[in-house]
Chains A and B, each alone.
Chain A
Amino acid sequence: SQQGEEDPQALSIQEGENATMNCSYKTSINNLQWYRQNSGRGLVHLILIRSNEREKHSGRLRVTLDTSKKSSSLLITASRAADTASYFCATGGMDTGRRALTFGSGTRLQVQP
């Protein structure tokens, strides 16, 4: 079952603008990861943030995690047309016996050139 929801479901912005996507989850987690998926393609791992971290940066990506609110956000700064894709958050549970990831519903980002 899906862990949680992402919003917005779809986002359309102009090149150069920032894009913010939010993810909420339901259970306690060990870590939260963000993935990108181009249409009809596999997943590309973007960034992982552990439950004891609050913010992480990687290039134009900034991820925040608020475990008290069970939410995370992904910010893409200075967006480019090539950033057009679906973005998913995925959570890793506390149970090390269950290492599968639980994915959010995803945000479809369209960056207009």
Chain B
Amino acid sequence: GAVVSQHPSRVICKSGTSVKIECRSLDFQATTMFWYRQFPKQSLMLMATSNEGSKATYEQGVEKDKFLINHASLTLSTLTVTSAHPEDSSFYICSASDSSGISYNEQFFGPGTRLTVL
């Protein structure tokens, strides 16, 4: 099956710093990638949808200037948490879909990145 990787798997940073998380599709071309956030014992909440070569579409309440998303190639999307604060501590999960997923929303999920902001 299709594989999606995330890097890093875990990051601890100081408040005020920026953190970049990478999401890669390893064996297929991901025309669309999604970024989700999951707080402890809660469900996944969609943050943004990114299409290769265009600007990301952010969900209501998600600050686009704080969560910068770049989808520069068909295999890589990055999420940068700028000026991170403790409340940004969360589990960030990406998923990827190729064009064949249009009809049935098939997505392949990365293993997630645990961000802890001190």
Contacts and interface: CB of A to CB of B under 8 A. Distances in A.
Given A43-B95, A99-B97, A100-B46, 16 more contacts: A2-B43, A31-B105, A41-B112, A42-B93, A42-B109, A42-B110, A43-B109, A50-B104, A88-B43, A96-B102, A99-B34, A99-B101, A100-B49, A100-B105, A101-B95, A103-B36
A20 interface: no
A105 interface: yes
B64 interface: no
B40 to A, nearest CB: 9
Interface of A, helix, strand, loop or mixed by DSSP = strand
Contacts of A103: 36, 43-45
A24 B51 CA distance: 29
Interface residues of B, number: 28
Interface string B21-62: 000000000001010100001111110010000000000000
B46 A96 contact: no
A56 interface: no
Interface of A: 1-2, 30-31, 33, 35, 40-43, 45, 48, 50, 88, 92-93, 96, 98-106, 108
B104 A104 contact: no
Contacts of B104: 30-31, 48, 50, 92
B109 A45 contact: yes
B93 A40 contact: no
Contacts of A93: 105
Which 6 interchain pairs have the tightest Cβ spacing? A92-B105, A42-B111, A43-B109, A103-B44, A103-B43, A42-B112
